[in-house]
Structure 1
Amino acid sequence: MDAQNGGTLTPVLLNVYDLTPVNDYLYWLGFGVFHSGIEVHGMEYGFGAHDFSSSGVFEVESKSCPGFIYRKTLWLGTTDMSREEFRSFIEKLAGKYHGNTYHLISKNCNHFTDDVCKNLTGKPIPGWVNRLARVGWYHCMFCFLSW
């Protein structure tokens, strides 16, 4: 229970998925290509690409995101938001994540879950989940600056 308002604290979980079987090897080297979804109140929320200017945020049953191989769940913290408050929060945040703005390096599913996590817990998702995008971003910036 949350002593401040008498509400129940709900776990904020990160479900991590492999995008490729090569992750079985890369994972142990601190790399990998991962998809992540945030689980709160028993449902999972993710962000994906499509060709339209509507939201790319979607809701699925926990640990069963289609097209990906479930790897693990990480406990990120808790929130005192009720189910209704959380749904309202996600709907508002979804306006920033249109399907046609998805970008593998600068605005991917892991950026979405990081945004949700920071808003709910004040902390980011673990760095290894989106490390490849950061490495790719630095590589792109190096190439651009070298040009």
Structure 2
Amino acid sequence: MLKWKEEMMIEQPIDKVWRLFSDENAKTLYPKLDEHVLVENENDETGAKHAQSYMEGKQLQTYIVETMRYDDKPNKKVRHTRFSMNSMFEINYIFTLDKKADDQTLFTYEGAQKGTTITGKAMLLAGSKKRRQETIRDFMQRVKTKAEKNTAE
């Protein structure tokens, strides 16, 4: 199993950063996302399920993404999502925002990828640690950039 936890300070109010994590803004954070369609419960709540489609090469891949936790409190906000990929991996993402000051938000990105088959486990072991770290940092930088741009509008 691969796990990570990274933090970044964003010089923006917590509510402006949090808007990026709403279901209506899914395509903003995930530019390769083709569709994000509600299939169960309501948007932006624990238990919501969405069908997310991505183009991977020339194939359209669809995953059911479940919101395991959705907390929207004034000083702390958490969104935990989970999905299974190709029946080989279970993937969890946890996004936490902590208000540090009126215009300061600590963004924490935690995740875990677990191989659910022998092939999946082998693929995780063979993957590039440097590339995974770049992907995590690129995502965090995208959140920061979009939050700052969002505020300027």
| Shared fold per TM-score greater than 0.5 | no
State the TM-score, normalized to the length of structure 1. Answer: 0.28
Query: Which structure features the higher share of helix residues?
Result: 1
Query: Which structure features the higher share of strand residues?
Result: 2
State the TM-score, normalized to the length of structure 2. Answer: 0.27
